[in-house]
Amino acid sequence: MDSLTFKDVNGGWGEPLLFENLSLSVPRGSFTALTGPNGSGKSTLLKLIYKEIRPTEGAIYLNGGNIASMTQKELARKIGFVAQHHLHEYAFTAREVVAMGRYAHPRGEDDAVIDAAMEACDITHLADTLITTLSGGEQQRVILARALAQQGRLLLLDEPVNHLDVKHQQAIMELLRRLSHQGYTIICVLHDLLLAQIYSDRTIMLKDGVIVAHDRSDAVFTKERLAEVYQIEAHQVFDPVLGRSIWLASHRGA
Amino acid sequence: MKKPLVAILIAASLLLALVALTLGPSGITVGETVHILLGQGSTANKHYIIWRLRLPRIIASFLTGAILGFSGAIFQAALRNPMADPFILGVSSGASFGVAVALAVGLGALVGFPIAALTGSVITTLVILALSVRQKGATTTLILTGVAINYILSAAMTLLMFMNKEQYQRILYWSMGSFSTATWSEVTVIALTMVVLIIPLSASHRSLDMLLLDESSGRAAGLSVGSVRLMVLLPASIATAVCVSYFGVIGFIGLMAPHVSRLIVGPKHQRLLAPSALFGGFLLLLSDTLARLLLPSGELPVGVITSLAGVPLFIYLLRRGRYRYG
């Protein structure tokens, strides 16, 4: 069953609209990487889902319901979102930040949900630590826990590992992988094509607001498609740990 | 920390109010002040000084400081800007312009400064909010629109004063702020403003926390960012406008009180709003008492005291280190 469906959607910032007649379906429980060059519409597509931008034509359905007829709070109870840029200038504790994920819910079982979200992201020990003092990787886990506390089964993430070192990238991506195995539907904007190939089971590749490919990740990444979409040469290497081949951009080096 | 801090601020404010009621050229003792407040015997003159002159002034300055401190916390959250204060959306320039226009067209005596100032500031704030509505109240648009309108109104007011030089002193003195003419009717209006416009905003503490997130995260977590922003800014602006219309422009309280409170209780608005109001009230009452007593004869404009005393304290607190708006 599909979790999310776009049906003939036109939308975007200003004119001309970035997306025209966009249709796609994301299966429930899948881990979908959203890739494409800068300006291809990855973040805009997420904004259409959480209603920062409204479609001018067409409709977006979440678990069969048209999101246009949902209030912002109703929608927030069905999705969680991790933004690309989230400056934390105000010294909330990690737990207070996670608790903000409960905004759309009536009070009641907040504590249990917050505890569970923090445990899932392995930040229980940071509960009383000010978020302004946490490392980038820890902050990202707090933000992810806040998204989980919303209790939506669809998680949207906009470049969640961009500013993290390799170890923290690995930790976040493995956490997302685990969540998808637990039944969460994940749509994750990724610039790093390596991470997209390693962790996602499906990939949507965008170029100039058009879906160039949407399939199993191993079917989306091809030499020809990477040349067409990114204008790069690529070569395939076998990764003995993964037990399969992956595509790498061919850097010539010095 | 919230409850002890609130209790400390209430106790300190009551003590300061007693001192402020007593101090002055009339030679009233603390004991006499307490007796007069309890309705016990004293001279009619002293009774008049306490009940008619000092008490309304003290309550007016405290409530005005409380409104400015509370509104400052609202503005800083709603605009996601630590430099925001209740005057950023044109309340003060609108009020001054309203007074300047009333004087220029000869209506100053007829409508009075408060009505002219309130009209000017409310219209200005509504215009700024309306101009920003198309952008769903985006913070940058709001702040820049406010700055632009402030410049236009300042220029227009300068022109009006240039054309009516004899009125310049009156506008200048009014704009510097003073509680010397505070009456019980003004206290009633300010208290009603506090009860009707400010205290109900306390219920929005969760939304105010959410406004401190980036807009996308706030929206995705269920916050209707634009409408919530307007719903908290409008009453805070009107409440500030009421204070300005009676007592002039009193700078720095609305900026400093929330920052100092945040240093102690953190940024969560459930804990922050009450201390911001109480600290604002305490600071303005202290400033007004100093403004009344520092000169052997006459008074200093209270705005001078709030800035002169407040800025060094504020810079000290900022330099104490590790301050990140909380």
Q: What integer pLDDT is reported at residue B6 of this predicted model?
A: 94
Give B294's Cβ-side CA count (13 Å radius).
Answer: 13
Task: Supply the mean pLDDT for chain A.
Answer: 92
Which segments in chain B show pLDDT lower than 70? 1-2, 108-110, 133-137, 317-318, 320-326
What the block records as the tokens of A151 is 């209790």
Mean pLDDT of A60-75: 95
In this predicted model, what pLDDT tens digit does every residue of B138-197 receive, in sequence order? 788 888 888 899 899 988 888 887 887 777 777 777 777 889 889 999 999 999 999 999
Q: How far apart are CA B96 and CA B118, in angstroms?
A: 9
| b/e sequence B76-93, b meaning 16+ C-beta within 10 Å | bbbbbbbebbbbbbbbbb
**B221/A132 touch (CB, cutoff 8 Å), yes or no:** no
Which superfamily does B2-319 belong to?
Answer: ABC transporter involved in vitamin B12 uptake, BtuC (1.10.3470.10)
Which chain B residue has the Cα nearest residue A48?
A: B220
What the block records as the tokens of B184 is 């019980």
Instruction: Find chain A residues with C-beta within 8 A of B271's C-beta.
Output: none
What residue spans define the domains of chain B? 2-319
Q: How far apart are CA A118 and CA A140, in angstroms?
A: 12
CB of A150 within 8 Å of a chain B CB? The answer is yes
Give me the number of domains chain A comprises. Answer: 1
A246 located within any domain: no
Q: What integer pLDDT is reported at residue B100 of this predicted model?
A: 82
Lowest mean pLDDT among A3-7, A109-113, B107-111, B175-179: B107-111
| Of the partner residues A76, A85, A132, the one whose CB lies closest to the CB of residue B221 | A76
Domain containing A198: what range? Answer: 2-221
| Of the partner residues A50, A87, A90, the one whose CB lies closest to the CB of residue B267 | A90
CA distance B111 to chain A (A): 44
In this predicted model, what pLDDT tens digit does every residue of B42-58 receive, in sequence order? 788 888 999 999 999 99
Give just the sign of the alpha carbon dihedral A91, A95, A101, A106. Answer: negative
Across the beta sheet with A154-158, what order do the strands follow?
A79-82, A154-158, A185-189, A31-35, A202-207, A210-216
Task: Supply the mean pLDDT for chain B.
Answer: 87
Q: What integer pLDDT is reported at residue B109 of this predicted model?
A: 65
**B142 versus A202: which is more confidently predicted?**
A202
Instruction: Find chain B residues with C-beta within 8 A of A155's C-beta.
Output: none
**B221/A79 touch (CB, cutoff 8 Å), yes or no:** no
Confidence label for A72 from pLDDT (cuts 50, 70 and 90) = very high
**A245 versus B113: which is more confidently predicted?**
A245
Mean pLDDT of A131-145: 91
Q: What integer pLDDT is reported at residue B73 of this predicted model?
A: 96
Q: What integer pLDDT is reported at residue B101 of this predicted model?
A: 86
A249 located within any domain: no
**A150/B224 touch (CB, cutoff 8 Å), yes or no:** no
Q: Which of B213, B229, B269 should one mutate to test binding to chain A, selecting the residue with the greatest count of A CBs within 10 A?
A: B213
Q: What integer pLDDT is reported at residue B130 of this predicted model?
A: 82
Q: What integer pLDDT is reported at residue B134 of this predicted model?
A: 64
Lowest mean pLDDT among A15-29, A63-77, B197-211: A15-29
Tallying the residues shown for chain A, one arrives at 254
